Structure 1
Amino acid sequence: MLPRWSRAMNCLSRVRTVKSVESCKEFPVLSNHNYAVAASAAPTATYSPDNGLPGNAAANLGKMFQSKPCSLALARDSPLRIEEPHYEGIRHFLLKLMLFYSKQSKSIRGANVVYRRILSQVDKPPIYEVFNLEKTFKMTFSLLVLHMWLCLRRLKQEGKEGVEFGQYLYEIYNHDVELRVSKAGVNLLLTKWMKDLEKIFYGNIVAYETAMLPDAKQDELVNSIWRNIFSDDGSPMPTDPAVLSAVQAMARYARRESFCLSLTDKEAMFSGNFMFTRLKSSTDPMKA
């Protein structure tokens, strides 16, 4: 396993020149329990709402995600916060013996909360309504990958500790995807499906990370969003204003969420006490 893992790390370290899994011939099919520091090291870019957005977005979508990034951490008095359970006496003693308070246990609980935050954004109608998307398995999976990348990219800023936390998050995500594939009726070829989805996962995050590099082409993120989320057949970017506006808006959303997460403190990230930017339907434009 380690040689394969080493090849994956080498491939991701060349993210400046890698555009997809296909362009990195050494990229392996990783086992279900490996996380390849998915948000690989990249220089910090400066935020610009128009960076990577060709043309003008139409109507309501064009007004979204233009505001200055801010921390996504929940306020201390927010009812949405999830706190570590506090026990005393014999219960505390027994739980301590069972390693309930160990760093690993706390990280796993925190990673579960983080993944629930991702699901709260990806599984609910607003994100599909805002970007005019059809809720299919492929679409939901693509959005899951996008938001996983956003979180893993932020965790990478915390060094080794963030990478270890990201490992737990990735395993939770992987288990959820496996359940979704099974629920979709795939059983006999489940292993093959999971390997294929794993390739897509790593290919997408390499493309997104490459698009965020300072020397990336102006429309690189828009093109990556189009290829990995909106396009079903690898066709070129359309000229339809409605479709183009939605793709551009999602690129702005992804870029802004990335910078918002970079402003979100470590405690919020490791406990899951943050929320992605709230989305509203396109008939009620928000000032994100």
Structure 2
Amino acid sequence: MLWPFNRFRKSGSSPRGTIEPIYGMIVAQTREPLFYRHLNVPDTVEGRFDLLILHLWLVLRRLRGVGSELSQALFDRFCDDMDDNLREMGVGDLTVPKRMQKFGEAFYGRTAAYDLAWSESEAQLADALRKNILNGEHPDSAAGLAAYAGRVAAQLAALDDNRLLGAGWSFPSPVQQD
């Protein structure tokens, strides 16, 4: 399990240098306009957050085979980013922990739903994505997001660990080119 407060522990070596480029790629992909123009992802703070969780979940699934330290480091980077964003938006020090708890609950709820749906079928994943990202609307877009998630997962699975950790890859286009 990923723990949101492990970043406060003192540890000898940190995989931060490995994780930073990967997290940067995740954030950059969530800014891809095709998600918002062609797949009806709401171009809002919530829509972008939900898309970030989807990509984080996909990469964390792949990192399961590499080691828990790297998964934890990626999750910690996500927590640091959310904390920084809250503070930039002017959220006070006393409110940040409550908001971070809500982010954690959203992360765990969505990833649990995605894990369960993934084990069932692409249609189940589409339903989970429609509920969590598309506000219960746009079933065709949800199917497109599920297909995209499948392409990302297949691409990540095909990478050897060195290429994955070296960020020597990129996410596919959100919209499949015919």
TM-score range, shorter chain: 0.7 to 0.9
Check 1:181–1:155 CA distance in 2 against 1; reply closer, same or farther (3 A cut).
Answer: same
Name the residue aligned to 2:110: 204
Partner of 1:114: 22
Query: What is the CA–CA distance in structure 2 between the aligned matches of 1:156 and 1:279, rounded to whole Å?
Result: 24
Q: Over residues 5-39 of structure 1, what are the superposed CA-to-partner deviations in whole Å (9 max), with x where a residue is unaligned?
A: xxxx5xx9xxxxxxxxxxxxxxxxx54337xxxxx
Q: Which runs of 5+ in 2 are unaligned?
A: none
Check conservation: 1:154, 1:262, Cα contact below 8 A.
Answer: yes
Cα 1:122–1:218 change in 2 (3 A) is: closer
Provide the C-alpha distance between the structure 1 equivalents of 2:157 and 2:81, rounded to a whole number of angstroms: 26
Higher normalized contact order (CA 8 Å, seq sep 6+, divided by chain length): 1
Matched, 1:254 2:149: yes
CA distance in 1, matches of 2:35, 2:130: 16
Matches within 5 A, 1:1-288: 9=1, 31-33=4-6, 104-105=13-14, 107-158=15-66, 162-187=67-92, 188-213=94-119, 216=120, 219-231=123-135, 237-238=136-137, 243-279=138-174, 286-287=177-178
Distance 1:139 1:278 in 2: 18
For residues 196 and 139 of structure 1, the distance between their equivalents in structure 2, rounded to whole angstroms, comes to 15
Structure 1 unaligned regions, length at least 5:
1-8, 13-29, 35-102, 232-236
Taking a change above 3 Å as real, the CA distance of residues 191 and 171 of structure 1, as seen in their structure-2 partners, is: same
Give how far 1:193 is off. Answer: 0.6
Distance 1:218 1:113 in 2: 29
1:215-251 per-position Cα deviation (integer Å, ceiling 9, x unaligned): x2563111110121111xxxxx55xxxx221111001
**CA shift digits 1:116-165 (9 cap, x unpaired):** 1101101232322231223211111111111111011001022xxx2111
% identical equivalent positions: 27
Q: What CA RMSD, in Å, does the superposition of the two structures yield over aligned residues?
A: 2.2
Structure showing greater Rg: 1
Tell me if structure 2 keeps the 8 A contact 1:118–1:148. yes
Compute the displacement of 1:195 (Å): 0.3
TM-score, normalised with respect to structure 2: 0.86
Q: Contact (CA 8 Å) 2:42, 2:48: kept in 1 or not?
A: no
Query: Across the two proteins, how many residue pairs are aligned to each other?
Result: 173
SS in 2 for 1:104: coil
Structure number having the greater helix percentage: 2
Matches of 1:260 and 1:125, distance apart in 2: 21
| Shift in alpha-carbon separation, 1:139–1:32, aligned structure 2, 3 A | farther
For 2:111, give the aligned amino acid: I
